[in-house]
Amino acid sequence: MNFFTENEDLKFILETADLSYIIKMYENNFREGDACDYAPNSIEDAIENYNRVLEVAGDISGRIIAPLSESIDTEPNYLQDGRVIYSQPVQKCLKAFCQAELMACTISREYGGLNLPNFIFTMLVEIISQADAGIQNIFGLQGIGTVIETFADHKLKEKYLPLFASGKITGAMALTEDEAGSDLQNIKLRAEENPDGTWRLNGVKRFITNGGADILLVLARSEPEIKDGLGLSLFLCEGGSSVSVRRLEDKLGIHSSPTCELCFNETPAYLIGERQRGLVTYVLALLNGARLATAAQSTGIAQAAFNEALAYAQVRKQFGRRIEAFAPVAEMITKMKVAIEASRALTYETAKVMDMSAATVKRLNSENIESTEKKQLRRNSKRFERLAMLLSSLAKYYCSEMSIRVTRDAMQVLGGSGYMKDYPVEKYYRDARITNIYEGTSQMQILSAFRGILSGTMEKYFHELSCFDFPGQQSALEKKLQRGRKLLSQSVDFLNNRKDSQAVELYSRQVVDMATEILIGYLFLKQSLRSSRKLKIAKMYINDLGPVFKMRASYIKKADTACLKNYALIVNRI
């Protein structure tokens, strides 16, 4: 099995994505070719490299990780003298990544990385998640290297980035504390400066993914007198004797990814970038990437569950017929597939916008730019940044909820067998369950996305998408989406005018759902220009939306807050 070459939809997305501007900017017009023997020398060459990288990841995922996935789930990582020891199967997976030199995908070649755009890295994340979602967490934390490259000083980069590139070290991001989950401003872990400019960390972090890593990026309070997010800075420290892993969490799923409680005791640390910018600049800059990765992870898990469900439905017979011949089963399977492709469209649209944002910044930073172009680039950069924030929230929210729904339905298709450990579907279901919780719960994503919709960023983007010259069939479908947009903007205005913050909080979900559905409609419509199969999907998807839009709009218009008014009475709060 190769999880890339055998995934037609993923290949379709790559083939139809126009990455030329992004590649040119990422490759700085191919100037690196002479200095580095693995740098591409043209757009085509870069695309060939991307395909090869994806094939290798597809091979590792299908041939090495997927067969280990069951033992990964049942053989736990363990703690020894305050250090995390990966289980044998987890070690095998990580070894394969190192051998393939896939542990520094996004850092630049100067430090031994592959300089891949987000778009391709996101595909790797999806492919690996299809094999095992928890392994993806350790793999994905190579993003720590990118944070170091972007924000840390030269000395730290020189010291740590080549180690990431060689696969000798893994990283972790230590943000969460007991009282600071969604609310990171409340972080307590103390950072104190030494006379020589280095720092010491003291305190406790919780729920830290891969907390036993060699390198930790830690959000800590460097300004004890400032109580909010402005009092926080970002630090780099090495895992070791001064960072003990107090406990490994016992979790529902993603067993390959060790979730740790960490105790910092006079831990030596270096400041990353500037003081006080830890949360407000650096961590916020990471959020989009973390959301995007979770969206891709969700999609990968759902794809794995779908494959199992489809294979089962094709052979399982009841009442003398294959169960896929029964309407309710066929409907379930079709909807699973459409939802996965919707997630994929949304995920890679988001990845592309994030790359456009990064590419624009790269262009801005290059030499000899005329002032008119500069102005335009600045405007674009802001626009892409706003859009990236909105789309990453939408993608994270939609894909994670989709993953939970699809894995649940996959279990439904397998029936009693799916509930048993004999099939991997129950594992996918458990793994999927974390996706709408970590990296910002669905409720937080809705809040964040709702702001983007209120600000008009969403409607501007819809307008751009609708400026496409759609031919006959697509044009009729586009009109339906336009009607949805009208209902959406009426609903947003209505909520805005109500000045009832509780009603807004309650019904923002309906608004965000509607916006997501319209966006997916447009993305399917764009895909339908390249594939007749996608036209069928677009038709089905968009035609289904009419009644849904109406329902959402009338809910919003009613803006009933009875559940809040009668809360105490109904829940029998004592």
Q: Which chain residues interact with another protein by CB under 8 A? A: 37-40, 48-49, 52-53, 56, 59-60, 63-64, 92, 96, 99-102, 114
The smaller minimum CB distance to another protein, of residues 65 and 395, is found at 65
Closer to another protein by Cβ: residue 99 or 566: 99
Q: Which is nearer to another protein, 18 or 37 (CB)?
A: 37
Whether the Cβ atoms of residue 231 and residue 222 lie closer than 8 Å to each other: yes
Q: How far apart are CA 131 and CA 368, in angstroms?
A: 46
Give 49-56's long-range contacts (Cβ < 8 A, gap of 24+): 50/14, 50/116, 50/120, 51/14, 53/102, 53/105, 53/114, 53/116, 53/120, 53/124, 54/4, 54/14, 54/120, 54/123, 54/124, 54/127, 55/2, 55/4, 55/5, 56/100, 56/102
Task: State the amino acid at position 148 in one-letter form.
Answer: I
Select 115 or 129, whichever has its Cβ closest to another protein.
Answer: 115
| Of the candidates 85, 93, 76, the residue with the CA atom closest to the CA atom of residue 131 | 93
User: Buried b vs exposed e over 13-26: b needs ≥16 C-beta within 10 Å?
Assistant: bbeebebeebbbbb
Three-state DSSP string of 491-553: HHHHHHHHCCHHHHHHHHHHHHHHHHHHHHHHHHHHHHCCCHHHHHHHHHHHHHHHHHHHHHH
Name residue, tokens 């996004």.
Answer: 106
CA-CA distance, 478 to 525, in Å (whole number)?
8
Closer to another protein at the Cβ: 49 or 77? 49
Q: How far is the CB of 415 from another protein (least distance, A)?
A: 17
Nearest approach, Cβ of residue 54 and another protein (Å)? 10
**473 SS3 class:** helix
Q: Which is nearer to another protein, 104 or 377 (CB)?
A: 104
Contact 262, 244 (CB under 8 A): yes
Which two tokens mark 335?
A: 């909807």
Q: How far is the CB of 513 from another protein (least distance, A)?
A: 39
Q: How far is the CB of 162 from another protein (least distance, A)?
A: 13
Measured from the CB atom, the residue of 39 and 446 that comes closer to another protein is 39
- Selecting among 126, 149, 308, 439, the annotated active-site residue is 439
Q: Are 432 and 298 in contact (CB under 8 A)?
A: yes
**Cα gap 169→237, rounded to integer Å:** 13
Shortest Cβ distance from residue 363 to another protein (Å)?
Answer: 24
- Indicate the pairing of strand 171-174 with strand 215-221: parallel
- CB proximity list for 21: less than 8 A, separation 6 or greater: 356, 359
Active site residue 385: no
- Report the residue number, 113 or 212, with the smaller CB distance to another protein: 113
Question: What is the smallest separation between the CB atom of 126 and another protein, expressed in angstroms?
Answer: 17
Answer whether 509's CB lies under 8 Å from 446's CB: yes
Q: How far is Cα 326 from Cα 310, in angstroms, rounded to an integer?
A: 13
* Residues with a known catalytic role: 439
